[in-house]
Amino acid sequence: MVKIGKLKLKNPVMVASGTFGYGIECKNLINLDKLGAIITKTITLNPRDGNPQPRIFELPYGMMNSIGLQNVGLKRFLAEKLPELKRITGTPIIVSIAGEKISEYVNIADILNKERISGIEMNISCPNVKGKIISKSKTDTYNVVKTVRKKTKQTLIVKLSPDVTDISMIAKSAALAGADAVSLINTVPAMIFPESLSASRRTSITKSPVFGGLSGPFIKHIALRKVYEVSKSVKIPVIGIGGIMNVKDVSDFLRAGAKAVEIGTGNFIDPRIPINIIKGLRP
């Protein structure tokens, strides 16, 4: 059993936000009841179309995405997606949220107070939207987490960006502001010239570079180091994310100090990866 805030997980393996839809899309692919928790696609107050295509690129050791937080918005999420997900599984549901301003995070957290969910993951680290990334500043991180903390008793996980000089400092601010846990890392900022990809992988003829975030096996060792550094500097649980594909990867993250993990890109390669890992973990 793994404890994160008030939340008790039957195993340490969760599915990462944005890589598992709203959970319901995957109901026929795997047994959702086996997962430690489901973290739903980041939602914002209003629906978002996301960035123009192309926005997903397959690469030799992972992928780059530039989705830009496409989502149905809080209202539809609460009316359609969450009730359906709760109907089909008893697995803890953690709702990922984002906002353009502190007040948007607070509004969403306030509305989520009325819902029976297992926690909130504050995505303050998405590299694919305009405006600044909150988790690049310890002051901004402190302010948004503190303000949301005052509004909610839900277990609060704060998701951090790797794109900083000292991630421990940011994690400490989140902890000081009342986060129950930090999760890291979000994707690593990157760029692609789409036409430079081989013909078989080409998704468009655009000549402009596309900015996005890298994920998958080639970020694992970046993530591992950040998790190690953060684990040494905060007392709250650290959730490791980045390139996890198998039991060995999970063991590395646990050894680096993580209490639990999230699987992201692995779900696109084979949605059975989280379940296979859970089966392979020693009880």
Q: Name the segment binding ligand FMN (CB under 6 A); options: 22-30, 84-92, 230-238, 242-250.
A: 242-250
Options 41, 48, 81, 259; binder of ligand FMN; rule CB under 6 A: 41
Q: Count each helix (H run) and each strand (E run) in the chain, helices first.
A: 9, 14
Options 18, 23, 99, 240; binder of ligand FMN; rule CB under 6 A: 18
If binding is defined by CB under 6 A, does position 219 make contact with ligand FMN? yes
- In the chain, DSSP assigns E strands to 2-4, 7-9, 13-15, 37-39, 56-59, 62-65, 93-97, 119-123, 156-159, 181-184, 188-192, 210-215, 238-241, 260-263
If binding is defined by CB under 6 A, does position 16 make contact with ligand FMN? yes
Structure token pair of residue 5: 């805030």
Amino acid identity, residue 263? Answer: I
If binding is defined by CB under 6 A, does position 141 make contact with ligand FMN? no
If binding is defined by CB under 6 A, does position 89 make contact with ligand FMN? no
Structure token pair of residue 109: 């957290």
Q: Which residues have C-beta within 8 Å of that of residue 234, sequence separation ≥ 6?
A: 168, 171, 172, 174, 175, 182
Which residue in 26, 22, 33, 2 sits closest to 239, CA to CA?
Answer: 2
- Total residues in contact with ligand FMN, by rule CB under 6 A: 27
Q: Name the segment binding ligand FMN (CB under 6 A); options: 140-148, 190-198, 211-219, 271-279.
A: 211-219
Options 89, 91, 118, 123; binder of ligand FMN; rule CB under 6 A: 123
**Eight-class DSSP state of 71:** B
Cα–Cα distances (Å) from 157 to 76, 86, 177, 192, 223, in that order, read 23, 20, 12, 31, 17
Options 44, 65, 154, 173; binder of ligand FMN; rule CB under 6 A: 65
If binding is defined by CB under 6 A, does position 133 make contact with ligand FMN? no
Q: Cβ-closest residue to ligand FMN?
A: 18
Q: Which of 43, 126, 175, 277 is catalytic?
A: 126
CB of 126: closest distance to ligand FMN in angstroms?
A: 6
If binding is defined by CB under 6 A, does position 186 make contact with ligand FMN? yes
Amino acid identity, residue 203? Answer: T
End-to-end alpha carbon distance in the chain: 9
Nearer to ligand FMN, 41 or 226 (CB): 41
Q: Name the segment binding ligand FMN (CB under 6 A); options: 141-149, 200-208, 229-237, 238-246.
A: 238-246
Q: Which residues have C-beta within 8 Å of that of residue 167, sequence separation ≥ 6?
A: 160, 184, 226, 229, 230
Q: What span, in angstroms and rounded, lies between the C-alpha atoms of 34 and 31?
A: 6
Q: Is 26 known to be catalytic?
A: no
CB of 62: closest distance to ligand FMN in angstroms?
A: 6
Question: What residues make contact with ligand FMN under the rule CB under 6 A?
Answer: 16-19, 41-42, 63, 65, 67, 69, 96, 123, 126, 159, 186-187, 215-216, 219, 241-244, 263-266
Active site residues: 126
